[in-house]
Each structure stands twice: as structure tokens, then as C-alpha cells.
Amino acid sequence: MRVPMSWLREYVTVPVSTRELADRLVISSCEVDGIETRGVADLNGNLALFRLGRVLEAAKHPNADRLQLCVVDVGGEQRQIVCGAWNFGAGATVAVALPGAVLPNGLRLERRKVRGEESDGMILAEDEVDLGADHTGIMLLDDALEPGTPLGDVIPLTDEVLELETSHNRPDLLAVYGIAREVAALYDVELAPPPGVDPRRAEDEHVNVDIADFEGCPRYVGRLFRNVKVDSSPLWLKARLLGAGMRPISNVVDATNYVMLALGNPLHAFDFAKLAGGRVVVRRAAEGETLRTLDGAERELQPYDLMIADAERAVALAGIMGGEETEIGEATSDVLLESANFEPYTIFRTSERLRLRTEGSNRWEKGVDPYLAEQAAKLATQLLVEHAGAKWTGATDVHAELPQRPVVRLRPERTDAVVGLATPPQEQHEILERFGFVIDDEAVTVPTWRARDVTREIDVVEEIARFRLDEVPARLPVRQAMFGRLSKQQRVRRQIQDALVGFGYSETYTWSLLPDAAKPDGLRLQEPLSSEQAVLRTSLLPGLIASARRNVEVGNEDVALFELAHVYLPSGEQLPDERWHVGGIVAGGFALAKGAVEGLYAALGAEAVFEPADDLPGGVRGARTPDGQILALREPDLPGDWGAFELDVDRLAARAPELVLYEDVITYPPVRQDLAFVVDEAVPAAALVAAASEAAGPELREMRAFDVYRGEQAGPGRKSIAFSVSFQSPERTLTDEDAAALRDRIVGRLQETFGARLRS
């Protein structure tokens, strides 16, 4: 929501600077994304160089057929100005920028010669001062204005714009008047009445409106206008629309957009002559019905879509977009104005299915106050009569029983307990009354524009809390009780995070949704926001690989990333099997990834058992554990060797012991030897270690492979694996004879089980 400050100040006096207001709104009401200054810069007297001028003479330039040579009175002095527009002549009142003036695009004007004739300034078009997009002609102003009048006194040359991000439950803040109501309450200043006063109705024509579905459309205000002259809007209205982020179109369409921005109630205008039977019907779509909307798209409708129809066919998607057939055009002379109220979920469902998001649908799906429709109709009527020469000839207001204002109980002592600051009951009541609530002892009547989000006592407490939020001291809460503890799964997840951070990994967070083709076995969303986020991930590795690629692209080195998050495995049912996984990726190759996995098992007190895995997807080599896999990655976009791993944390937690017992440190020295065995190529080192441990018993403290040889000395189809072996007893110092006996037991077992031959 973009709020021009000049527009806001029309409804409320802002007693502070725009920056101070933004800071206060952030605390109490909504996020402020920024403050934009638009239009002509108000620096170093720049605004004084923009004035009203009266054209005294206008004739063809003697040296250029497409230029006019004008003499302009700018207030007691006459200036010769060369102009390329021809939509004016002598006697016109125009906007002039004098030499030295700086335009919004940064151009500084200078006195200069154009085709041999001196030009002492510029006669301005709308786009040259950010008041519109029109450059076909210069701006023509009211002839009653005096030459030399500062242009900023006549049209909004410069303005500050608040860029707001409102929450989903505050549709009242999607309106300039709604923000003004907040400002008035926060600073206890007077709020102007809502804009819009009904002019006198010229006739009393019948307006035929039939609501067939009051659940989807609780209220429909329809007004009929004759003799409408479709033209451009006045400059001030164009400037406000542009400042609020909307493109001016015509005085009729601009009036509906202006009302939506001012009050928060979207409107729509139909070319009445194109409505079959001069009738409006609010109904659900028929089976197989279609509608060509204003954007030129042919929309296939569903039976739950709420439509605005005439006597023959649908003419608009209610609350979302009008139809092409009844669009307002230059030839339109009769207009039917719609100021309705629509049920939020109905609009949201259709908008999501059609991927059709509009300013109107954004407001309807959050819930617009049904009591607002009449005031919105009044303001639109006033604008159409004043700026389109319309004659108001008919009106109707069809509605079901409108909702009553909610009444909520408030106990002042409850407010103090929740907020943590003592606020006297009288002050609490005053705060609420400034926000539009009505107080009767403990009964609080909620204003209609807050009826959807203030329904409980705690909601009313929040209204008082946000008013005093900037007074809450920064301190930790007092702990009054402590109970509960982490589950085993939670403890394991924290141990994993701590261990990987200790290994030099950085935690990352990646998308849970992947492109459609990434995981054909994954659960596909019924209504994905885009094809890039269509399938729930079944693995963490795609996101980690993408994160590593981005790090490499920006020049980061020694990348080591991990993620601890959910994956969503196919279950054969409507919902997936949601499991915790931990995944990691590291520059440096398979060995580093395997080392991290070994460290994780050690940190959890679980045994790590590895098996070779040469059947992984894409021909990737790696290893498996009972809980996951380790991969040697070769990615085209990742130069060098990379290792990755992914483990099922739920399985890890089941394997980790509940209690890790202390084992006394052995003080007797170890006996170390290096042993090398020649075995078949298919025999893994882990199998040799397991058999050796079983043969030697607990006195074999460590057996670690440190070299693998394949060559002539090992023989075809065989390999030599060298191990660093450590023998140690907790009871005595082992002798060389003890170590030799243990070594012989190992050699015998490996020869018997694997046909291993001791090389050294």
C-alpha cells in the first residue's frame, strides 16, 4: 500500500515528520518498507522556479514547422519560450519552469537557443513533472488563476509517499482513510469525516439488481449515471493515483480506483448500454460458462465462481476483474456503478485458481467492511458528477441482514497482566475509543471495520498493547515456573547441529518445494504458485547443491554447508511421510563428507557401519550406512571434487543410546603396528575391520585403513589394504609377544574368512 502524504493530510493533521510517523506506525500498526520522495525536488528554492504562466502570443517558429514560438507572462515579466506542443494558443494558462529549475528526471533547464530563437524556460507537460504519462500536449490550467502563482500552490508538484506492508487481518489499513484513522488515534488528533457527499439526484430511475447468492454477496449498491463524458481526470486526481502506484486511465475508471484507495472498498463501472436487459444478477457460474476478462484472457469458470451477470451472460468476475464486453470506453455515455461487498473465501478461491491477482481481490479476500459500500458509492458519485459531467439518475441498495457489531468483554486487570505495564482503566477506555470502540463498563463494542479480527478479549488487549508498545522496557521476562524437557529426537537434532558446526559446516535453509520435473516421485501440489515450486522435496541434496553453486559463483572457497529439515516421502496416501533428514555438501571430495558422517555417529554414541554403493542414481559413487548415504559428487557447475551426505535423523535417533556410559581412560601404553592384507577387489575394508575386531577382542583398540594398493604385486582382481593397528589393555602393559599373538589371531581369521594374505 502506497500512501501519498498530501492525500493523508487531507483527512488528518500529521503532527510529526514523515520519518517519525513511519517509526510510530512500525511499532503500532504495520510495516513501513520505505519513504519515497516523488515529483519536483524541494531543494535550494527549486519549487519557486515553477510558476503559472499566461500565453500572450503563440505563433509558428520561423525556422521550424513543428515548433511554436510563444511569449508567456509568468507574473510581471514576459519570457519567450519555444514549445513543441500545439494543443494551446494565446490566452491559455500553462505551467512554466524557469531557467535553473531541476525537473524530476534530474534535467536542469538553461536559457538556450532553439533553431535560432532564444527559449527562456519550458512550458510543461504532465509527464515532465510526474503528474501523469501524457506527453501529447502541455497541461492546460484554470484561466481564473493569476500568472506568476507558484505552481506548487495549484497542483501537487512534490510529495512523500509511505510504502506500507499491512498484515492479512487488517484490510482497513489498505485505504488512505484507514491509515488516517490510525494516525488520528495514535496522536489524539481530529479525524475528518469520511470523504464523499451525495449530490442531488437528477431523476429516480429503477436500477434492476438481483442477488441470487447472498452468502457470496451480502450487499450490492448499484447507481446509474446518464450523459457521462469519458475524458481524462483532473491533474490532482492523476497525481494521487500515480503516487499510490496506479495508472490513470479515464475519469470514470479513475474515480473507481480513487475510491478504492481512499476508503478500501473496490468498485466497478459497467457500460450500462452493454448490459443486456439493463439488469445485474449476482450468481454462481454455470457449468461450462466462460468469460473474457479485461486483460483479454478467456476464462473457464467453475460452479463456485461468483459472477456479475446481466440478463443473458456473465459480465464480470465478482470482486476480481470486469469483462471485456462491458468495458468503459470513449463512446460510453451511461454508466452503472457497482459498490458491493463480497465474501472473502469465495474471491480468494477463484483468484488463486485463475492466478488472477488484482488490487480489488487483494482487499476482498481479507474481508472488507460491508457497511463501507454506501460511503464508497457516495464518494464515487460525487467524483463522477463533478469530473465526468454525469447525471445521477438511479440508485438501489440490495442486501441481506448486515452483521451486528461484535461485543467483547474486557477486564482492565487482564490487560495489565498481559501487557506487563499498568494502564488505568480510564486510560484503557480512552485508547479504545480513539480506535473507534464503544465502551460500556466491561462490554466493548467493536467498530464494523474491525469486526473480523477483534472477536476475543485478547484481541482488545492487543489494541491497548500496540498503543503502548514503545513504552515496554527491554528486559527478560521473570521466570515463575520451569517444566518440560527436550525429547530424545530434539536432543539428537541439537547434537547434530552442534557437531556439524564444530566440523566447520555452516547451516543453510533451502526451499521445501522443487521444480515439477526434479522429483517425479514427490507429492505434487494441486495449485502450485509456479512450476519452479511445484513438488515437495524427497531429498535435501538438490537444495544443498544449488546453495553450494551460488557460493562458488560469488567466489566463496572451502564451502561446507548442512541443512537439518523435513523431507516429504511418498506414502501411498493423501499426505506424505514427513521425516527429519540431515544433509551436507563439502568441497574437497568424498573423504571429507565421510569424515563428517563418522564424526556424527561418534558424537551420538552410535556405531558407524559403511558399505560401498555403486548403484546410486546417475552413476554416482559412494557409500551407504543403515541411515543414509555418502556421495562423491561430480557436478558440471561445481568445479573440483565434492562430497555430500544425507541421513535419516529419525533412524539416527532410534540408534543413539539413551545414556552414554563413561569409560575410563586407559593409562597403559598401546602397541602399534602396520598390517597390509591382499584380498579380492570386492572385499570392503570395513568387513576386514569387523572380522579382526571379533577375532582379537577388546584389546584391539583401533584398526584404521590408511592406504590401498592395486597393481602387479597384488595380482589381478585383488587389492592390498594397509591398516594402522593399535593393541591396548586396560589392565596391563602388553608385551611384543602379546601383540604378536593378537596379530596372529587376526591374520588367521582374515585368511579363513576372506582368503586374505598378509603382505607385511
Cβ proximity of 404 and 370 under 8 Å: no
Residue 647 falls within a domain, yes or no?
Answer: yes
Cβ contact 368:178 at 8 Å: no
pLDDT of amino acid 479:
73
Closest among 396, 399, 398, 426 to 412, alpha carbons compared: 426
- Comparing CA positions, the residue from 303, 316, 313, 326 lying closest to residue 358 is 316
pLDDT range class, residue 473, cuts 50, 70, 90: confident
Q: Find residue 676's DSSP bridge partners.
A: 722
Q: Do 148 and 165 lie in a common domain?
A: no
Q: Are 325 and 308 in contact (CB under 8 A)?
A: no
Identify the CATH number of the domain in which residue 513 sits.
Answer: 3.30.930.10
Q: Over 60: is that where the pLDDT of 461 sits? A: yes
The share of the chain scoring above pLDDT 70, in percent, equals: 98
pLDDT above 60: residue 519: no
Helices (H), 406-518: 412-419, 425-434, 457-468, 488-502
- 8 Å CB contact between 219 and 370: yes
Which residues does residue 725 pair with via DSSP β-bridges, in sequence order?
Answer: 673, 703
Residues 6+ apart with CB under 8 A from 324: 292, 293, 294, 296
Q: All 3 cell numbers of residue 607?
A: 556405531
Number of compact structural domains in the chain: 6
pLDDT band at 470 (very low <50, low <70, confident <90, very high): confident
In a domain, 660, yes or no: no
- Say if residue 300 is in the same domain as residue 434: no
Residues 436 and 492 in one domain: no
Query: Tell me, what's the pLDDT at 552?
Result: 92
Whether residues 309 and 425 fall in one domain? no
Condensed to tens digits (0 to 9), the pLDDT of residues 41-60 reads 888 899 999 999 999 999 99
Average pLDDT, the chain: 92
**Residue 167 has what pLDDT?**
85
Residue with the larger pLDDT of the pair 664 and 2:
2
pLDDT in tens, 421-432: 899 999 999 999
Domain range for residue 168? Answer: 2-40+159-187
Q: What's the per-residue H, E or C state across 60-99?
A: ECCCCCCCEEEEEECCCCEEEEEECCCCCCCCCEEEEECC
Residue 330: inside a domain: yes
SS3 state at 341:
strand
Phi, psi of 299 (to 5 degrees): -100, 130
d(CA 603, CA 662): 14
pLDDT one-digit tens code per residue, 271-312: 999 999 999 999 999 999 999 999 999 999 999 999 999 999
Q: What is the mean pLDDT of residues 662-670?
A: 86
Percent of the chain with pLDDT over 90: 78
pLDDT for 23 equals 94
Describe the strand order of the beta sheet including 560-569 as a list of residue ranges.
506-507, 560-569, 577-587, 642-648, 628-633, 621-625, 611-613
Tell me whether residue 474 is in a domain: no
Note the pLDDT of residue 458. 96
464 assigned to some structural domain: yes
Q: For residues 650 and 708, state if they share a domain.
A: no
Which of 355, 375, 399 is where one domain is finished?
399
pLDDT over 90 at 32, yes or no: yes
The arithmetic mean of pLDDT across residues 168-187, rounded, is: 95
What grid cell was written down for 658? Answer: 539413551
Q: Which residues lie below 8 Å from residue 375, measured CB to CB, with a gap of 6+?
A: 194, 196, 263, 265
Question: Helix (H, G, I), strand (E, B), or coil: what is residue 173?
Answer: helix
202 domain-assigned: no
Q: What is the DSSP letter of 477?
A: P
* Chain centroid offset of residue 60 CA: 54
User: Which residues does 697 contact at the CB level (< 8 Å), separation at least 6?
Assistant: none
Tens of pLDDT along 239-275?
899 999 999 999 999 999 999 999 999 999 999 999 9
Say which CATH number the domain at 287 has: 3.50.40.10
- Quick check: 113 pLDDT over 90? yes
CA-closest candidate to residue 1, choices 159, 176, 194, 263: 176
Q: Which of 238, 194, 657 is nearest to 449 (CA)?
A: 194
The DSSP output letter for 610 is: -
Split at pLDDT 50, 70, 90, the class of 615 is low
422 and 438, same domain (yes or no):
yes
Q: What is the pLDDT of residues 329-367, one digit of tens each?
A: 999 999 999 999 999 999 999 999 998 999 999 999 999
**Confidence (pLDDT) at 76:** 86
- 427 with 310, same domain: the answer is no
Q: Are residues 442 and 382 in the same domain?
A: no
Q: Both 614 and 646 in a single domain? A: yes
Angle between helices 176-187 and 425-434 (to 10 degrees): 160
- What is the side-by-side strand order in the sheet with 443-445? 407-409, 443-445, 438-440
Beta-carbon contacts of 22 under 8 Å, excluding residues fewer than 6 positions away, are 32, 35, 162
Q: Which among 631, 655, 679 is the end of a domain?
A: 655
Decide if 196 is inside a domain. no
Q: Domain boundary at 438, 469, 500, which? A: 469
Q: What angle do CA 396, 398, 399 make, to 5 degrees?
A: 150
Query: Domain of 171: which CATH number?
Result: 3.30.56.10
Q: Same domain for 338 and 446?
A: no
Residue 617: its pLDDT value, please?
Answer: 61
- Assess whether 69 and 131 both reside in one domain: yes
In order, the DSSP letters of 386-402 are HHS--EEEEEEEEESPP
End-to-end CA distance of the chain: 79
Closest by Cα among 91, 297, 307, 100 to 212: 307
DSSP 8-state assignment for residue 305 = -
DSSP 192-251: PPPS------S--B--EEEES-TTT-SEEEEEEEES----PPPHHHHHHHHHTT-----H
Evaluated on CA atoms 471, 475, 481, 484, the torsion sign reads positive
Packed helices 590-604 and 488-502: angle between N→C axes, nearest 10 degrees = 140
Contact status, residue 350 vs residue 317, Cβ threshold 8 Å: yes
CA separation for the pair 560, 563 (Å, rounded): 11
pLDDT tens profile 185-237:
999 999 999 999 999 999 999 999 999 999 999 999 999 999 999 999 988 89
Q: What is the 3-state secondary structure (H, E, C) of 258-281?
A: HHHHHHCCCCEEEEHHHCHHHEEE
pLDDT of 275: 96
Which of 185-194, 369-378, 655-664 is predicted least confidently? 655-664
Single-letter residue type at 710: R
Residue 99: is its pLDDT beyond 80?
yes
Residue 664 within any structural domain of the chain: no
CA–CA dist 700, 606 (Å, integer)? 19
Instruction: Report the alpha-carbon distance of residue 324 to residue 328 in Å, rounded.
Output: 9
Q: In the chain, count H helices and then E strands.
A: 17, 37
**Beta strand pairing call for 208-211 and 279-284:** parallel
Q: What's the order of all strands across the beta sheet hosting 2-4?
A: 2-4, 158-165, 31-39
Q: Residue 385, Cα to own-chain centre: how many angstroms?
A: 39
pLDDT of 535-583, one tens digit each?
A: 899 999 999 999 999 999 999 989 999 999 999 998 888 888 999 999 9
Cα gap 414→458, rounded to integer Å:
9
Assess whether pLDDT exceeds 90 at residue 448.
yes
Distance CA 290, CA 292 (A): 7
Same domain, 261 and 355: yes
**Nearest C-alpha neighbor of 545 from the set 583, 591, 489:** 583
Query: Alpha-carbon distance 25 to 166, whole Å?
Result: 10
Residue 238 has φ and ψ, to the nearest 5°, of: -60, -45
- Quote the pLDDT of residue 619: 61
Residues 548-559 have pLDDT tens digits of 999 999 999 899
Cell numbers for 79, please give them.
519570457
Q: What integer pLDDT is reported at residue 520 of this predicted model?
A: 61
Mean pLDDT of 90-107: 94
In terms of C-beta density within 10 A (0-12 exposed, 13-18 middle, 19 or more buried), how is residue 249 classed? middle
The CATH number of the domain holding residue 719 is 3.30.70.380
